[in-house]
Chain A
Amino acid sequence: MTGRLIKFEMRSSFRHLLIVWAALMAMTILMCIIYAVSGMDSYAAFMDSTRVAEVISAIVHIAAWLVYVALMVALVVLTIAIVILRFHRGLLGDEGYLMHTLPVKEWQLITSKGVVAALAVLGSSILVAISGFMVVSTINHVSIAQIMQDIAAFMHTEKLMPLLVVEGIIIAILGILKSVYQIYASLAIGQLVNRYRILLALGAYIGIGTVLSIIAMLGVFFGSLLGLDEWISNLSANVTAFEQVVMLFCFVVEAIQLVIFHIVTERIMSRKLNLL
């Protein structure tokens, strides 16, 4: 049933996102073509030939950048909107009357939204990175072969670099999921009241952030009292061990938050659902 919910959610969430993804990639290719053409000798000669050519070139570059930046902004806004609205409309709005009367558990509903929202964020992030990478490398006349060589060289800077990269990706995905679930927990808290739901959700989000910051500060304080900073400085002598401990720490912190946000959201939706 969770698979079916995810399939339904994918169709709901990605129908607009795919268009913006395609538009951004098309614009990226256009930007690359514009800058590749700008780098040609014949183009430079043409530019020197007439003032009109120079003006047209400037207009094309400015227009391309405006459209490119607008698409980037649209992608960021749409991705955030998908994370918030698909949960809010889908489970707490009118669509919730259908979703909450399907014979599935609340955790399945929440998981389907969370997985798809995380995929949307991940997909948009990867696309923005690829797009930026392509444009910047074209502007700087760096070839793909050169980029691949640089990546290979980076991977060999340290023995465990490939492992660190994989761990970093896992922690980044976990971090995205955790951030999505923090929004869900806040929205679930917001629906507990009959009025000013969005306001309470916003307050809950800020409140959760504040509590997490306080916990982090207390952790550092009590950690230093227990001699943790001394242990860390001793550990940093062994770089590999130090890196792995840091990765494990980040993983555990993100995972604990994710589990707590999921449980809070699930408990509220199961026991305190208040669909008006």
Chain B
Amino acid sequence: MNTNALVECRGLGKSFNGRIALQNVDLTLGRGKVIGLLGPNGSGKTTLIKILNGLLQPTTGTCAISGAMPGTYTKSIISYLPDKSYFADWMKVNDLLDMFEGFYMDFDRAKAETMCGYLGIHPTDRIKEMSKGTREKIQLILVMSRNAELYLLDEPIAGVDPAARDYILNTIINNYNEEGTILISTHLITDIEKILDEVVFLREGRVIRHEAVDDIRMREGKSIDELFKEDFRMVPIYEGGEMR
């Protein structure tokens, strides 16, 4: 595989109990980009991210990150933000910082501590005593304090208020390793459109569009949000729409 590409998927497929989540995904992602992985709920975004992380095994096809199959090496260069809290509730912020510092060579502890300080989070604060929003912010801080080659951010702005959304997007944009790539999955396009270099549209487990945002704007004369609504328009059944 071409190691100049950061991510290469070939014929990637995944099914759960016969239900297809991803099918025949061919995708090549370059370095130094912010890429939106966009699609409605159930389109396969999380499945694709989990496969890249090695948390799920593909049913068909292969994927490589920096030329390597998902494994110990790829985990050392991927910084992953899942769509759920993965902390053990007994931990304190300090324990998490110790853990990330101990396991990830690219973790910048000083940066993480500074970001925690801005939010008034103390190293001795207990995770289980924090609000859901604060936990999500700490998780984001830890993930963005790594100088990773690939950031996989799964729905980082879903279910948060607009102020928190701005904080999250600013944290992402101001802290990522600019030689690396961010793949950010969401269906809330308006909020992230301004930071994207490329978009990948997923529908029913298939890649239906992978283009540079500037190209789309120049050619179509539309925003990504407008294009998304056009591509994923749902027509009610009583108006002749299909049953999905």
> Which residue numbers of A lie inside 8 Å of B, CB to CB?
1, 4, 8, 11-12, 15, 90, 94-98, 100-105, 194-195, 271-275
Contact = CB atoms under 8 A, between A and B. Distances in A.
Contacts of A8: 99
Given A1-B103, A273-B54, A105 B86 contact: no
Interface stretch (B23-31, B75-83, B177-185): B75-83
A10 B82 CA distance: 25
Contact of B73 (A100, A103, A194, A275): A103
B104 interface: yes
Contact of B103 (A94, A96, A103): A103
A163 B88 CA distance: 43
B120 interface: no
Contacts of B17: 194-195
B33 interface: no
18 contacts: A11-B90, A12-B90, A90-B88, A94-B86, A95-B86, A98-B87, A100-B53, A100-B54, A101-B54, A101-B55, A101-B78, A102-B104, A103-B72, A103-B104, A105-B72, A194-B17, A272-B57, A273-B56
A96 B50 CA distance: 12
Nearest to B72: A103
B55 A100 contact: yes
B118 interface: no
B56 A275 contact: yes
A99 to B, nearest CB: 8
A15 B90 contact: yes
A275 B90 contact: no
Contacts of A271: 57
Interface residues of B, number: 26
B84 A94 contact: yes
Contacts of A102: 75, 103-104
A74 B104 CA distance: 38
B88 A97 contact: no
A8 B90 CA distance: 11
A271 to B, nearest CB: 7
Given A1-B103, A194-B17, A273 B86 contact: no
B102 interface: yes
A194 B16 contact: yes
A101 B75 contact: yes
A272 B14 CA distance: 12
B242 to A, nearest CB: 26
Interface in B44-65: 50, 53-57
A104 B84 contact: no
Nearest to B77: A103
